[in-house]
Structure 1
């Protein structure tokens, strides 16, 4: 298994000159080669903007941050083993931006056993919010709120025949609860709910159900290629139904994978618009990205950026040579403006972080609001 270590070269040279100052080790297990790798890579890019900038300016309390990243391919068993390695062998002080609902739920026993905080898991599962998970600190809204908003939007624009494609896993079940709330509020029911295998959806049986239902819109609850391949198959079958999917697909890579089928697809969002260049947080991210030769931001990139800003602030508050216990203590009494009044806050009773949901539409190869 390949381990990717990230440490700014300039910072490494500074360390050598200063005489072996201790590093702060942070771990991440996520899909870097599987079905959601395109999105994960953008999230990592946003995270790295913060890490490199902090290290280049002296680190946190004089210490450099090193992120140890392990690829799990979105496989739950690999996620658990990676997390064990990061906690037991690598001695990380915290974990960051793990990806996948089943994957994140599966590692919670290890987090709780060793008292290690997971900051900004890249999932909006309600099970990570309620009941309270003592070691998990969310930096995004829930999938249930996103799915509920998607149904509310469709009903307000007069669409009555709404189908749902639901991933047959804990993520799909969770998001479907939000969709059910949206249908109830609109006094509607889905015309069909099509279940999809998480790893190998059978489009040959799924697509005919959607076409035969004469759906005007499809709320597609799934991840990465499971959604892009499905949408392309649906378009090939002649359906012009409006597609809405959730923020786990809010990545430039998702648009590229959709290709010509991307136009008009709606994606829910959990952070401010990445092209609102007057917003202080967007302005900061854009400046750091341009310094690295990157001229575009994406929602996935911003999720990594915001979660890592939270991590850095927590490490500052935890003091020099932070321990796992001090990180947890700092998180449980935490309020922080990541920019432009976008507050992230935690208490011992609430680890939800940010409550924000919006909609975007793909047009001209970009998300627009």
Structure 2
């Protein structure tokens, strides 16, 4: 009996040692991870952008991890929900920096959040990589802590105004969202219109909850415009188009890339057919370039079945960031990442060129126009 008890005690000690060893190995592996922090809209009015961007980025990081990681280390993306609330976004950013020890912020969504984030970047020295906004506030004045991939709203709006100019359309109305994003976009429209000597016929705002929808619709109807440019995201976009189509048939709408989610197109339904939307990433639905083929291959391998513009943006953002980590070496921090990114110069990521330097952190100015088809797809 005593021998049996001694064997049980010995077995118990062995199991405890193994358990503690496993815990130690697991803790070491996690402590050895390269932590990247993201605050985005996983719920709320812009979840249709936040979720697919974060999902695609994580899928790419997980794919790289499955290949052994980078410089012998795994990448761990920690994503927190802010529901497109700038105050919550900043609280999340502080948690990611202070508690999670993130080496960089990644894919922070929205103009309001990124506007509020700038002082925190200066205070902590952390970088913000690939913010999901085209606002000038993350582009001018130059900030060495911010690296943009997507083209700015000013570039998108200039493409739209140029298209209108070529078509000879002179009576143009603008509906802008009454927040930081909308005002930034409006400034870009006004700048582009001035360049092409186009006088905007009417400009009106709309609240994020569409509470003043009737006012916006009435302003456009009274002005008798030929085309309407929407500087809106989420609910106000579909609300305005559906309401205006009840008043005026056959209006030509233009919108920025923030309206390029399949959820937005589905919400607009038949009212969205013919809407022209500017895009800042390559067409993700046809494998016409190496980048798109890789995107589709990795997403499929990681269990993601739907392709999208915001998805390929998350994928590309992650791909460029992995390249920066490779160049930064094993001991990654914000300063090493800045040096690595600025040293990239002009780099072709399989069909999409990104260019960074010590004086330029605007990675791309790529913009093309797409149109929504009758069956709810994007056509080039």
Choose the corresponding residue for 2:288, options 271, 278, 286: 278
Pair 1:366–1:338, CA change in 2 (3 A):
farther
Native 8 Å contact 1:220 1:227 kept in 2? yes
- State how far apart, in whole Å, the 1-side matches of 2:29 and 2:258 are: 42
Choose the corresponding residue for 1:39, options 46, 49, 66: 49
In structure 2, the partner of 1:68 is 78
In structure 1, the partner of 2:126 is 116
How far residue 325 of structure 1 moved from its aligned partner, in angstroms, is: 2.4
Aligned partner of residue 83 in structure 2, secondary structure: coil
Q: Does 1:91 align with 2:92?
A: no
* RCO higher in structure (CA 8 A, sep ≥6): 1
In structure 2, the partner of 1:366 is 377
Deviates more, 1:36-45 or 1:98-107: 36-45
Aligned partner of residue 352 in structure 1, secondary structure: coil
Pair 1:105–1:20, CA change in 2 (3 A):
closer
> TM-score, normalised on structure 1?
0.91
Per-residue CA deviation, residues 91-126 of structure 1 (Å, 9 max, x unaligned), is: 101111111112101011111211111110000111
- State how far apart, in whole Å, the 2-side matches of 1:206 and 1:21 are: 53
Instruction: Report the structure, 1 or 2, having the larger helix content.
Output: 2
Choose the corresponding residue for 1:202, options 199, 202, 212: 212
Choose the corresponding residue for 2:116, options 93, 101, 106: 106
Per-residue CA deviation, residues 34-92 of structure 1 (Å, 9 max, x unaligned), is: 11111211212221231121011011111111111111111111111111111111110
Pair 1:297–1:335, CA change in 2 (3 A):
farther
Instruction: Report the structure, 1 or 2, having the larger strand content.
Output: 1
Q: Does 1:129 align with 2:143?
A: no
- State how far apart, in whole Å, the 2-side matches of 1:324 and 1:130 are: 20
Q: Does 1:182 align with 2:192?
A: yes
Native 8 Å contact 2:291 2:351 kept in 1? no
Give runs of aligned pairs for residues 261-272 of structure 1, distance below 5 A.
Answer: 261-272=271-282
Native 8 Å contact 2:41 2:49 kept in 1? no
- Where in structure 1 are there 5+ consecutive unaligned residues? 1-11
Aligned partner of residue 323 in structure 2, secondary structure: helix
Over the aligned positions, Cα root-mean-square deviation in angstroms equals: 2.1
Give runs of aligned pairs for residues 323-362 of structure 1, distance below 5 A.
Answer: 323-335=333-345, 337=347, 339-362=349-372
How far residue 293 of structure 1 moved from its aligned partner, in angstroms, is: 4.4
How far residue 181 of structure 1 moved from its aligned partner, in angstroms, is: 2.9
Per-residue CA deviation, residues 202-252 of structure 1 (Å, 9 max, x unaligned), is: 112111111122222110001111212221121233342111110122211
Q: Does 1:303 align with 2:313?
A: yes
User: Of the two, which has the highest radius of gyration?
Assistant: 2
Choose the corresponding residue for 1:23, options 33, 39, 45: 33
- State how far apart, in whole Å, the 1-side matches of 2:227 and 2:183 are: 20
- State how far apart, in whole Å, the 1-side matches of 2:78 and 2:237 are: 29
In structure 2, the partner of 1:5 is none
In structure 2, the partner of 1:256 is 266
Pair 1:214–1:66, CA change in 2 (3 A):
same
In structure 2, the partner of 1:140 is 150
How far residue 199 of structure 1 moved from its aligned partner, in angstroms, is: 4.3
- State how far apart, in whole Å, the 2-side matches of 1:341 and 1:260 are: 33
Q: Does 1:233 align with 2:233?
A: no
Pair 1:85–1:295, CA change in 2 (3 A):
closer
- State how far apart, in whole Å, the 1-side matches of 2:315 and 2:278 are: 18
Aligned partner of residue 361 in structure 2, secondary structure: strand
- Where in structure 2 are there 5+ consecutive unaligned residues? 1-21
- State how far apart, in whole Å, the 1-side matches of 2:238 and 2:138 are: 26
How far residue 18 of structure 1 moved from its aligned partner, in angstroms, is: 9.2
Aligned partner of residue 318 in structure 2, secondary structure: helix
Aligned partner of residue 350 in structure 1, secondary structure: coil
Pair 1:73–1:17, CA change in 2 (3 A):
closer
Give runs of aligned pairs for residues 207-218 of structure 1, distance below 5 A.
Answer: 207-218=217-228
